[in-house]
Amino acid sequence: MTDRLYTTNQLAKHFGVVPTTVIDWIEAGKLEAFKTLGGHRRITHRAVLEFLRRHGLPSPPAFEALTQKVVVLDDEKEILALFGRILRQGLPEIETILVDHPVEALMRIGSEQPQLVVFDIHMPDMDGFEFCRKLRESLTHELRLLAISGDTTDATREKVLAAGADRFIAKTDARDQLVTACQELLAAQKR
């Protein structure tokens, strides 16, 4: 996945500052950048996201529209944190939103408009099958759905795919397959 590049002028417009402010951030080591052969500064999308996170700054609306988002839903907080770490390390240019309850996830999906949702199947209050069906019935934008579960029976896999998931992986394979599965689904979403 190639990373989007910005000039200092483009970032200045996104952030509502003058270009010399962006240059000052770069020279102070706050914002990572590189120079082209012609001596012009370029900043990667990933570097801007890291800058925003490190300094606790919100994304400007124009910049936020350019950022791909993934909502991750799991009721087990330790698993949720693990998936968040895996995705932030493997796909740092993607904004990862962690949610531990299906109803909250539905609201966040409506407000954040992510391109991908990774969700557990076995959760209290609303299982992943119902969650997936509700999403497919109410979607107002294109969205890829990745189901993930410790229950790897053929019946579970078939049921969640029939409910509308695009792909299924086992929780035990998440360390090795989660990043790749997300990359593939995001790439397919762009087509």
Q: Report all structural domains of the chain as residue ranges with CATH numbers, in order of start.
A: 5-64 (1.10.1660.10), 69-190 (3.40.50.2300)
Helices 77-90 and 174-190 pack at an angle, to 10 degrees, of 60
| More confident site: 49 or 189 | 49
Q: What single-letter DSSP state applies at residue 118? A: E
Contact call for residues 106 and 135 (beta carbons, < 8 A): yes
Helix (H, G, I), strand (E, B) or coil at 61: helix
What does the pLDDT read at residue 1? 40
What does the pLDDT read at residue 71? 96
pLDDT by residue (tens digit) across 16-43? 899 999 999 999 999 999 998 988 999 9
Encoded tokens for 161:
């795919």
Distance CA 32, CA 117 (A): 29
**Residue 96 exposed, middle or buried by CB count within 10 Å (0-12, 13-18, 19+):** buried
Q: Is residue 155 scored above 50 in pLDDT?
A: yes
Q: Is residue 121 scored above 70 in pLDDT?
A: yes
Encoded tokens for 125:
């209050």
What does the pLDDT read at residue 77? 94
pTM of the model: 0.70
